[in-house]
Amino acid sequence: MALNGTVPPRPVAPPAFVPKPAKVPEKHITKNRSMNPSLNGALTINIVKGGGGKTAAEEKTPGSDFLSNEDIHKFCEDGRKKARKRAVERALDAEMLEGRLQNIPDVNGTMAGARARARRVTRWLKRIAQAEKMIAKWYAALYSAFEREYEAQLMKIGKGRAQQKPQRPFHWR
């Protein structure tokens, strides 16, 4: 209702811009019966929200065909980059967890030994971060070992047969 008490006329055309409704992701539901007798055959329901795309198990690692030097290089680089990212994330997670655990008192309510307790718990996560760091290092070592072992064959492939110099007979002049 307008300020003067009259109603504006009804529009005859839709507005120029009509936003599209957001696409709601599909839900995939799988039902599993537990074989654990302590759960008395409880039903477990897993709901996965997603657009029906590829799952993590279906994604193909780049270069996993191993058909060429480039494929092996792509495979090693992809693994190295993923392991490096995981190593950084795990190290940050360990620091955050240790910071949180340091502020939790023991059963008596005292803070004595809280830092030591936090370090004892988070050392395992720090070891996981170190392992991921070593995985990244080993991927780099894998490709360098491949190049070292197959260098002669790679050079032959890279040069091609047309570039080889024809042998001439020996002459004094």
Tens of pLDDT along 11-66?
777 667 666 767 766 665 555 555 555 555 554 555 555 555 566 556 888 888 88
User: Percentage of the chain surpassing pLDDT 70?
Assistant: 66
Backbone φ and ψ for 111, nearest 5 degrees, come out as -95, 5
Most confident of 49-53, 130-134, 150-154, 159-163: 130-134
Q: State mean pLDDT over 138-161.
A: 83
> Worst-scoring range by mean pLDDT, 16-30, 62-76, 141-155?
16-30
Higher pLDDT, 106 or 39: 106
DSSP SS3 for 126: helix
Distances from the Cα of 120 to the Cα of 102, 116, 128, 134, angstroms: 11, 6, 14, 22
The amino acid that residue 156 corresponds to is K
User: Percentage of the chain surpassing pLDDT 90?
Assistant: 40
Higher pLDDT, 53 or 94: 94
Higher pLDDT, 127 or 30: 127
**Where does residue 40 rank: exposed (0-12), middle (13-18), buried (19+ CB within 10 A)?**
exposed
What pLDDT, on the 0 to 100 scale, is given for residue 118?
95
> Average per-residue pLDDT in the chain?
80
DSSP SS3 for 52: coil
- Continuous segment of H or E residues that includes residue 151: helix 151-159
Which pTM was predicted?
0.56
> Worst-scoring range by mean pLDDT, 71-75, 111-115, 155-159, 162-166?
162-166
Backbone φ and ψ for 113, nearest 5 degrees, come out as 80, 10
- List the structure tokens of 171: 């002459």
What pLDDT, on the 0 to 100 scale, is given for residue 36?
54
Rg (CA), the chain: 32
- List the structure tokens of 157: 């492939």
The amino acid that residue 55 corresponds to is T
Place of tokens 């008490």: 5
How far is it, in rounded angstroms, from Cα 73 to Cα 81?
12
How far is it, in rounded angstroms, from Cα 116 to Cα 122?
10
Q: Identify the bridge partners of residue 43 per DSSP, sorted by sequence position.
A: 33
Does residue 70 carry a pLDDT above 70? yes
